[in-house]
Structure 1
C-alpha cells in the first residue's frame, strides 16, 4: 500500500460515566519511532485503541490508511485460546491446513496470501523469544504472563503491519527479553507507537508525545530531550504564574489607591459645596456627576480585575499540578514481626523450571526476598502456592501470618464491580471517608472508585488491586507481590517503593525492574533456574549461580 497513514483529528473521548477523558486531540504518526507517555488514568490506552479501531472517538475522527497491529496492555486470552491465536496467526495456519488437506476454496488461498511459510516463521520467532518449546496448538492458559507477552510480541513482528501500536509491551518481560524488545523496536522499519513508562525502552524512541489534562504535547525528540525540555517548560510556566500573580497584586493595590483618591475628591467636593452654601440644585448636579464618575471607575476597575484574573488563570493552566501519591503500609508494619511467616516443606511446583524439584524454605518475619528467574520458570506459581491459591502436588506450605497477594492478573479485583464496595467488603470496620481519602492519595478520585474496576486504566487497576491487598481488616504479615511495578507511572512507582521500605512484615517480590528492586532494601535472593533452587544474599550480585542450593 502506498503512503500508509494513521492520524487522530480533533478527537475526543467521553467515558461511560459522562466524564470527558480528552478533547480536540491531533496526532499523526509517521515513520519515526514514537512513544506516548503520561500519568496513569490520563487516557493513553484509550488513545491507542482509537488509533487501532478498538474504540471510536466521541467526536473528531481517526484517519487510518494501512494495516494496524495492536498489542494490548493486558493479554487475557479466552479460555480455549491457543498459542497461534495469541500470536494472531491462527486464521492463516488454519487455511494452510485446509489447503494441505485438499481445499481449493478461494477464501483459503486469499487468507494465506504470500504467507505459505507462516508455520516456519512462527517457529523461528518463538525460538528467538526462548519459546521454542511451544507448539502453535498449545493452550494459552498454561503460559505465564511473560510467556503470553512474548507470544503476542512474536505476532507483532510477524504481522508486517504498516503501524504497530504497543501498550506497555515490556511488562512481565525478563532482562534478556527486554533487551530483545529494544533491539526489535530499533529495527522495526515502519510506523510505531509505544505506550510505556519504561525509561530504558523510551530511550530507544525518536519522538515523545505526552498526554496530560492540558492535551497532547509533541516534543519532537527522544526521551532525554523530552526530560530536559519538560523541566524547562515547567520552570518557565511556574515563573510566568508567579509573575502573573505579582502583577495582579500590584494591580489590586493600584486600583485600591485609585478608589481612595476618588473618594477623597468626592468628600472634598461635597464639603466645599456645603461650605459655599450652594443652591440645592447645584449640589444635586454635583452629586450626579460624582456618581457617574464613580460608575465609570467601577466599570474600568472591574474590567482591569477581570483582565488580571484571566492572566493568572491562563498562566495557571500551563502549570500541571504535581500529584503527590501516597501508599499506606499495612498496620502489621507497626507490630513486632513473628519469628516465622511461612514454612515450605518439600514443596513441589506443578509448573516451571523447578517442577519436580522439592523446595525447603523458611520465610522469617521481616525477611525481604527477591524472587528471580527467567519468564516461565515458576515464580508466579510459587507465589500462588504461598498464598494458598494453588495446592502443590507435593509437600506442604504452612502459613503463620495473614497473607496479601497481588498477582500479575490482578485477581483480587472484580472487573464488574466498583472499587469502593469491594474495599468495604474487605474492611467490615472501615470508615468510608478514610478509605476514600486513602484512595485519593493513591491517585484514584471519586469518579474512579465509583466506576466498574474493568473500566479503569492499567495503572489505576493496579493501584485498585494494591488497595485491596493492603487496606483490609486483617493486616498482612506477608506481602506477595508479582510484578507490582507494571503499569505504574513514575510518581506512583516511587510512592510504592517508599511504602515497601517502611513495611516491616515479610516480603516476597517478583520483578524484572532492577531499578525498582534496588529501592526495596531486599536481603535475600531466591532464584529459580534449570538446576533448581538457589538462595543467597541479595547484595551478592557477583555470586550469581553460587549460594545455598535448596
Structure 2
C-alpha cells in the first residue's frame, strides 16, 4: 500500500505546485498518472520515490520503491553499477572472494551472493548485451540509459515501480518489450507517460490537476471517452449560453427601440395637447428614469450572462482554442519529390550504413513514416532527402521543394531570444505588434510571458511557440518533416500538435516510435531501415 496524506509541495522558487493531495495505491494496481504540462506529475513521482520531501503532509510506502526517471542525462558521471545502487555490494563481494572477509564487507554485501548473476540476467532480459557494470553512463545512448534503470527492476525485485516517461528514448522493439513487461508483471505500477499504447495497458487512470487527483476507473481510452462526454456537455453549455446572450442583447435593442418610439409619439401628443413646458419636462424626466431603469436591468442581465459564458469558455481544452491553419502546398498531388534506387551511404572509412540498399519513392501528398531501430540511420536518410548529404552508392533523385524540418528539441526556437522576439523573427508579412500578441495569446502565451527567455521554455512550450511562429510566417512548406516530435510532450501538447498538423495537405515525413501518434497523423506508408 501507498498512502499520500494531505501533502503540499512548494518549489524552491516559492511557487506552490500542489496542496492537500490525498491519494492511495493498493498492491498490484497498474495506474496511469496524467495531467497538463507543469502540473507536477514528475515531482509527485520524485516525492513518492523519496528523492524530494513534501513541504507538509506525509507519504507512507509499505513496499520497496524502484524509480525509472525521465531525465537520464544527469547520471552521466556515474557508472552503471553506481546508477543501479549496487557498486558497494559488488566491491564487497569481490573483496570477500579475494580473501578480505571483513565484517564491513559482509555487512555491505548483505548476503546477496547472486548480485552479479541477477545483473547479468537483467541485462540479458533488456537486451543490454555485453554491457559491463563499470561502464560509464555517458557513453550509452538515451535508450540504453533507460534500459539500465529498467534492468534495476529485475535486480532489486521491488514491489512498487515508478516510471516517468519510460518510452521516450526506446525504439519500437524495446517499447514492445516494455509493453509485455507491463502486461505480465504483478508488481504495483504508477506510470507517467504520453505513450497511449502504454497507457491503454493500465487499469486505472488518475488525472492530476490544480484541484487535486481525480480517478477514472479504466485505461486511457476510457478516460478519453469520459473527457469527451464532459467536453461535449461543456460545448453544449457554451452554445446555450451564447444563444441566451444573443437573445438578451436582441431584447435590450428591441426594448430600447420601442421605448424611443413611444417617447417620440408621447412627445408629439403632449405638444399637440398644449401641455405646459414644465409639465413636459417632468414627464420627460419620468420617461428617462423609467427607460434608464429598464436599460440597467437589461445590462445587468447581459453582464451576468457574459461572465458565465467567459467562465465556461475558460474550461475549454487548450487544444480547442488553437487553430494553426497550415495553408496548402502549391505542388500538385502525386508529383515525385524523391526517388531512391539501390541507395546507400557511408561516412569516411566506415561500412555502408544499410545492409539492404534503399529503394523508395516519395510523392507529393504522401504521409510516410521512417522506421528503424536506434542507430539505423533515420537522421542520415532525412539529410539525404533534404539534399544536405549525397548518396555514396546508388542513386537518389531529389526534386526542388520547400521543406520544414522540426526535431524533438524544436531547435528552430532560438534560446537567446525572448518569446515575443522569437515570434517577431517569423513576422515576414508585416503584422502589427498587437496582432503578434494576439497570436501569442491564442497559443497560451500571456502578457506575463512575452518577455520570458526561450531558454526557460519547456518542451511543450517550445512546441506551442513554434506553431505560433508558423502561423505568423504564413508560408506552407511542400514537405514537413517531424523527427520524434512527441518525445518531450505531455498528452495535452500531443493533442495540440496532432490537431495543428491534421489538416496539412502537403507531404509529411515522420520519424516516431509512437504507433498511436502515427495513426493520428494518418500515416499510411513507411520506409523501414535495417542496419
Same fold (TM over 0.5): yes
Matched with 1:503 is 507
Matched with 1:63 is 58
Q: What is the rounded CA distance, in whole Å, between the counterparts of 1:499 and 1:411 in structure 2? A: 24
What are the Cα deviations for residues 502-539 of structure 1, in whole angstroms up to 9, with x where unaligned? 138xx6x543234555657676634325xxxxxxxxxx
Q: What is the rounded CA distance, in whole Å, between the counterparts of 1:164 and 1:30 in structure 2? A: 12
TM-score normalised according to structure 1 size = 0.66
Matched with 1:149 is 146
Matched with 2:174 is 177
Q: What is the rounded CA distance, in whole Å, between the counterparts of 1:89 and 1:397 in structure 2? A: 51
| Count of matched residue pairs | 512
Matched with 1:37 is 34
Instruction: Give the deviation of 1:180 after TM superposition.
Output: 2.8
Equivalent residue for 1:494, pick from 492, 495, 498: 498
Q: What is the rounded CA distance, in whole Å, between the counterparts of 1:95 and 1:317 in structure 2? A: 60
- 1:102-501 equivalences in 2 (<5 Å): 102=100, 104=102, 117-156=114-153, 158=155, 163-187=160-184, 189=186, 191-210=188-207, 217-253=214-250, 300-301=297-298, 303-321=300-318, 322-324=320-322, 326=324, 347=346, 371-375=370-374, 451-453=452-454, 455-461=456-462, 482-488=483-489, 489=491, 490-494=494-498, 498=502
Question: Which piece of structure 1 moves more, 403-412 or 163-172?
Answer: 403-412
TM-score normalised according to structure 2 size = 0.68
Instruction: Give the deviation of 1:229 after TM superposition.
Output: 1.5
Q: What is the rounded CA distance, in whole Å, between the counterparts of 1:279 and 1:465 in structure 2? A: 69
Question: Which piece of structure 1 moves more, 61-70 or 133-142?
Answer: 61-70
Matched with 1:528 is 530
> Is the contact between residue 30 and residue 203 of structure 2 (CA under 8 Å) also seen in structure 1?
yes
Instruction: Give the deviation of 1:232 after TM superposition.
Output: 1.4
Structure 1's unaligned 5+ residue stretches are 530-550
Instruction: Give the deviation of 1:134 after TM superposition.
Output: 1.4
**Cα gap change, 1:463/1:145 in structure 2, threshold over 3 Å: closer, same or farther?**
farther
What are the Cα deviations for residues 458-509 of structure 1, in whole angstroms up to 9, with x where unaligned? 444566789999999xx999987643343444434535765886138xx6x5
Question: Which piece of structure 1 moves more, 260-269 or 367-376?
Answer: 260-269
**Cα gap change, 1:117/1:299 in structure 2, threshold over 3 Å: closer, same or farther?**
farther
Matched with 1:82 is 79
Q: Secondary structure at the match of 1:347?
A: coil
Question: Which piece of structure 1 moves more, 325-334 or 36-45?
Answer: 325-334
Q: Secondary structure at the match of 1:528?
A: coil
CA-atom RMSD in angstroms? 6.0
**Cα gap change, 1:355/1:451 in structure 2, threshold over 3 Å: closer, same or farther?**
farther
Instruction: Give the deviation of 1:112 after TM superposition.
Output: 5.3
Structure 2's unaligned 5+ residue stretches are none
Instruction: Give the deviation of 1:438 after TM superposition.
Output: 8.6
